[in-house]
Chain A
Amino acid sequence: MGSNKIYFYPIWLRIWHGFNALGIIVLIITGISMQASIESSLIAFNTAVNLHNVAGIIVSLSYLVFFFGNLFTKNGRYYLIKFSGFLKRPVKQAYYYAWGMFHGMSSPYPLSERRKFNPLQKYFYVIVMYMAVPLAILSGIALFFPELIIEKIFAFSGISITAVVHSAMGFFISIFLVIHLYVASIGKSPAENFKSIISGWHHV
């Protein structure tokens, strides 16, 4: 074992991840500040709106890198979910995190060149990157151009529903980020995984 290294994160992926990370952090901070209608001396409301718009465009563009990168390189296969053990696999991983890892159990799905994500991780990534982020981007574009939005959906204003979808996705992504950062600290050492996403090399 020891110094077995795998080149997990190619350069395009690390660039995407960097832009995405910074963009999303800006989006969350400005988003919360707008949401709470806090007129703080730190970020003026106008500044928050402008920053949110710019960061939103950056994250949307970098999403294209992610999307097409996964479509045209081998990296995409890490996101494919197997039908067999659809529920059993992530539950087993969750059990490991909640109980096993404190009781001498070894990781049920050790990472290798064929497996970059454990099943639970994979599910979360797929939900975030192929559902939450696209929905946030689409609803964000719609709010940029509200004339695109259907005026009434039953008794509700279309703009209102779009705004709720947008902020709900924003909230979901924020929660994901918190968990993502925490779980990333469960490595060989707490800083190990953070080093990997910068250097590209993962110690197995």
Chain B
Amino acid sequence: MWIGVWSLKAQSYENASQHQCLKCHSKTSYTYMNTVKGKEEHRLMNPYFVLDTVAMTSGVHKQFDCTDCHSSEYASYPHNGNLKLEPMNSCLDCHGGDESFASYHFERIEEEFKKSVHYKAYGDNFSCSKCHSQHTYMATARNSSSVKDIVDYSNKMCLSCHSDMKKYQLVSGHENPQLVKVHDWLPNQELHFKHVRCIECHTEVTDSLMVSHNILAKEQALKNCVECHSADSKLKASLYKYQNLQKRSEDGGLLSVLSNESYIIGTHQSPLLQLASIIIFLAVVAGIVIHSMFRIFKK
């Protein structure tokens, strides 16, 4: 019912040219009246202040208007320079301690995040929005049924800084690592990047939280193929467990269970083949032993 109230209030992002803020903040340049010079001026917009209005209309905060979070004084231009000194709401200000968001475990996420390498490196300046754009964020991992989409969306969050020199430097103070190069050791790199989330190896996966927010230092990242490609794969604890369960509840077939094990190396994918191979091997060894006994004792 809150949503009802908000949606009444919200302005449509769809019609950006009519929106008081977006008529400038959705474009790469803007025009304003310079009252000192007494003439109209055309200027470039800071590219980091240009908003993707299409993404905004499907984001989780689409019901909100700009001034619900930003100061209402932004309504006038030129914006008052002191406004940028005002503290912004953090996610927990709205999402923390609220029963309606309990299933998202925001408090636990914060706890985990505080252990992460991001928090250690940048402290409180590393806000949720560094990864989860408050303007456009979608809860893809919860709502999408395509693992490929979930992986893609999740990895783009990491890459928005980790493959962007300027944004990476803002937090770390040094140049961003060459992702392709540091992952050189990983076989089939491209395939892994497309199908596995960065966080699968770079976080401490906990069973009870859907996405771990404890991003580990690179030295602690998984670098061991068998952690995933084995019968008790780490992947089973995260996204793939979720997908596996979902798929099985959908078609309930045996085949889907079998194909879900496909990231396990070799015949371990099929316990039946494994058993068969052990039996065949033992039979051959027994045959050889018996035959050599005959050769020794019955010349």
Contacts and interface: CB of A to CB of B under 8 A. Distances in A.
Contact of B265 (A156, A163, A168): A163
The interface residues of chain A, by DSSP majority, are classed as helix
A175 B273 contact: no
Contacts of A97: 291
B229 A159 contact: no
Contacts of A160: 259, 261-262, 269
A87 interface: no
Contacts of A49: 187, 225
Interface string A17-32: 0000000000000010
A171 B231 contact: no
The residue in A164, A179, A186 that gathers the most chain B C-beta atoms within 10 A of its C-beta is A164
Interface stretch (A5-13, A33-41, A57-65, A106-114): A33-41
Contact of A157 (B225, B259, B267, B268): B259
Given A45-B226, A146-B188, A155-B255, A37 B267 contact: no
Interface string A67-90: 000000000000000000000000
A146 B262 CA distance: 13
Interface residues of B, number: 35
B80 interface: no
Given A164-B267, A178-B284, A37 B231 contact: yes
A136 to B, nearest CB: 12
Interface string B124-152: 00000000000000000000000000000
A4 interface: no
Given A46-B225, A49-B187, A175-B281, A35 B259 contact: no
Given A146-B188, A168-B273, A175-B280, A163 B266 contact: yes
A92 to B, nearest CB: 17
The residue in A34, A154, A160, A182 that gathers the most chain B C-beta atoms within 10 A of its C-beta is A160
A175 B253 CA distance: 34
Contacts of B253: 155
B206 interface: no
Given A102-B298, A168-B273, A186-B295, A157 B224 contact: no
Contacts of A146: 188, 191
Interface string B258-299: 110110011111100100010011001100100110110010
B258 A178 contact: no
B288 A182 contact: yes
Nearest to B224: A45
A155 B261 CA distance: 12
B284 A179 contact: yes
A121 interface: no
Contact of A156 (B191, B259, B288): B259
A136 B191 CA distance: 22
Contacts of A45: 224-226
Contacts of A196: none
A62 to B, nearest CB: 23
Question: Top 8 closest A-B pairs, CB basis?
Answer: A167-B266, A160-B262, A37-B230, A155-B255, A37-B226, A157-B262, A35-B266, A102-B298
14 contacts: A34-B265, A35-B266, A39-B224, A46-B225, A49-B187, A146-B188, A154-B255, A155-B259, A160-B262, A163-B265, A164-B273, A178-B284, A178-B285, A182-B291
Interface of A: 31, 34-37, 39, 45-46, 49, 97-98, 102, 146-147, 154-157, 159-160, 163-164, 166-168, 171, 175, 178-179, 182, 186
Given A160-B259, A164-B269, A175-B284, 9 more contacts: A35-B265, A35-B268, A37-B226, A37-B230, A45-B225, A46-B185, A155-B259, A163-B265, A164-B270
